[in-house]
Amino acid sequence: MDSNLRPRRSALYLPASNAKAIVKARTLACDVVILDLEDAVAPDRKDEAREAAVAAVNAGGFGHREVAIRVNGLDTPWGAADLAAIAGSLADAVVVPKVNGPEDIVAYQKALGAAPAALQLWAMIETCRSVGNLPQIAAMADTTRLSLWIMGTNDLAKEMRAQLTLCRTPFLPFLSMAVAAARAHGIAILDGVCNEFRDLDVFETEVRQGLMFGFDGKSLIHPAQIEPCNTAFSPSEAELARANAVIAAFALPENAGKGAIQVEGKMAELLHLEQAQRLLAVFERIEATR
């Protein structure tokens, strides 16, 4: 499956130390499961959580879901051991925290050593330094395992001393810049978590904002957030109808070789044809997971 077309609408964080949560994750409708060794695990349970995460991914049973493990940073007492353990596991990806610049990607790439080529490197964009180095970090995808970014808006808010409100006004420039930098180098990108999991109206508002910015999906902190997130990041019936109409119109003999045509009273160019084809390809892959 083309990684750029793989559905990653919903990426659920789970503490790797919570055995019941990991069992439940195998039945949830999320596209990605992220077993967390970092923020969600107390220092005295780090080693236990690492063993549990590796055992879980090696045991399998997650079906179509990608399974990633978020490690502790290399500047912590646990980071090197986390990476060494995951390098020999069946995880789909390793999520690395607080990347500041391209040198951090180099360090994590080196720490993974001779891990299988299929093991992806996913980076958290969550520091003030990182938002000043977005193009340079993204360019590392050309020569390393780096394939996906996850925005860490909570940590970014902490560093900036900014208010993380519903509209996320202080972070809007960074969100759009991150999407643009990621797209420039073929990196998938997920929006940061929404801390509100009881009020799904608030959550859906933030999801729609992320969709507007062009994110592939969103990272989540609670199973209740999965369904509305999947719905928002799936093509709507109207979008599918428009895509099919554009593709059908360009396929007509009278439109052969044209760069712009009229479809249902609207202008459609070749770029719209490419967008329509991609949307249908993503939809087919979503349907395959049902």
Question: Which residue numbers belong to the known binding site for substrate?
Answer: 70, 126
DSSP one-letter code for 8: -
Contacts of 172 (CB under 8 A, 6+ apart): none
Residue 116 near residue 90, CB atoms below 8 Å: no
Contacts of 47 (CB under 8 A, 6+ apart): 78, 81
Show binding-site residues: 70, 126, 155
Q: Buried b vs exposed e over 131-151: b needs ≥16 C-beta within 10 Å?
A: bebbeebbbbbeebbbbbbbb
DSSP one-letter code for 236: P
Question: What CA–CA distance (Å, rounded) separates 28 from 225?
Answer: 11
Q: Which of 186, 189, 185, 181 is nearest to 214 (CA)?
A: 189
Residue type at position 181: A
Show binding-site residues for Mg(2+): 126, 155
